[in-house]
Amino acid sequence: MTEARRGRPGSRSLARRRGRRPGSSDTRGRILAEAREAFGEHGYDGATIRGIAASAEVDPALVHHYFGSKQQLFVVAMEFPVDLSAAIPRLVAGPPGLLGERLVAYVLEQWEAPTMRPLLLGLLRSASSDPVAAAMMRRYLAEGPILALAAATDRPNASLRATLAGSQLVGLALARHVVGVEPLASAPPDLLARVIGPTIQRYLTGDLAEGEAMQPQDPGVP
C-alpha cells in the first residue's frame, strides 16, 4: 500500500482532535463552565450558543440537548454553587453594631471566589437587558438572603431595608468589577467593609426617619 493511500501517520487522530467532541459524561459540565465564562464576559445578549459550543468543543446541538434554550442554559449556569442563606445565622450572631460590616465582608469574599466571579459578572451584565437575569439578581440581593437578614434584625420595613442594602451592594459590584472604577476596583476588601459597612448598618438597623414612615408595614410586622 502506498504512502498516499495510507495517509500520513497520525492524520486520523489529528482530525479527531480538531473535530468537535461527541457527548460524554463530562460534556454537560464543560458546557456549563464555558457558559459561565461567556455570560460573565459578554452578558446574556452578547453570549451565543454557537460561541459557547465552540469553546466547549461540542456541536451546538448538544447544548440544546442538555439545556434546551439559551435562556434555560443561562438560568442553570447562573445558579450559585453555595447556599447564601446559610450564612445568615453566622452574620446575625456577631456584635449587632457591626452587622453591616460583616455583611459587606461576606459579600466581597463571595465575589472574590473564582467560582463565583463569573456568576456575579454574568448577572450584572445581563440584568439591565434580560428580565430573567433581573429577577435572579433581585432574588439574590434583595428578596432572598438580604431580606432574611433584614427580617432577623426585628426592625420594621424589612423589605425596604433589604432593597436599600441590596442596591448599595449592586452599585459596589458594578463599580468594582464591571466598570473598574479606581481606586475602588483595587481597594482591599477589609477596607471596603469598614467604610461601606456603616451605611449598610443604617439601612438594616438604623432609623430611616421620614422615608421609613412613608412606607407601608411589611406583612406580619406590627
Is residue 201 within 8 Å of residue 101, measured between CB atoms? yes
CATH number of domain containing 29: 1.10.10.60
Q: Specify if 1 maps to a domain.
A: no
For every one of its 222 residues, what pLDDT tens digit does the chain have, with 9 covering 90 and above?
Answer: 444 444 444 433 333 334 455 545 589 999 999 999 999 999 999 999 999 999 999 999 999 999 999 999 999 999 887 787 888 999 999 899 999 999 999 999 998 898 898 998 999 999 988 999 988 888 877 678 899 999 999 999 999 999 999 999 999 999 999 999 999 999 999 999 999 999 999 999 999 875 554 455 454 443
Distance, CA of 81 to CA of 110 (rounded, Å): 11
Q: What is the pLDDT of residue 106?
A: 93
Residue 220: predicted pLDDT: 43
**Domain's final residue, options 59, 77, 95:** 77
> How far apart (Å, rounded) are the C-alpha atoms in residues 110 and 164?
20
- Asked whether residue 23 is assigned to any structural domain, the reply reads yes
Total structural domains within the chain? 2
Cβ contact 87:144 at 8 Å: no
Residues 114 and 196 in one domain: yes
Predicted local distance difference test score (pLDDT) of residue 212: 52
Query: pTM for the whole thing?
Result: 0.77
Residue 26 lies in a domain: yes
Q: In the prediction, which pLDDT does 18 show? A: 41
| Same domain as 156, residue 207 | yes
- Angle between helix 131-138 and 117-126 (nearest 10): 120
Task: State the CATH number of the domain containing residue 119.
Answer: 1.10.357
Q: Which domain holds residue 146?
A: 84-214
User: Is there a single domain that holds both residue 181 and residue 92?
Assistant: yes
For residue 84, report the phi and psi dihedrals to the nearest 5 degrees: -65, -30
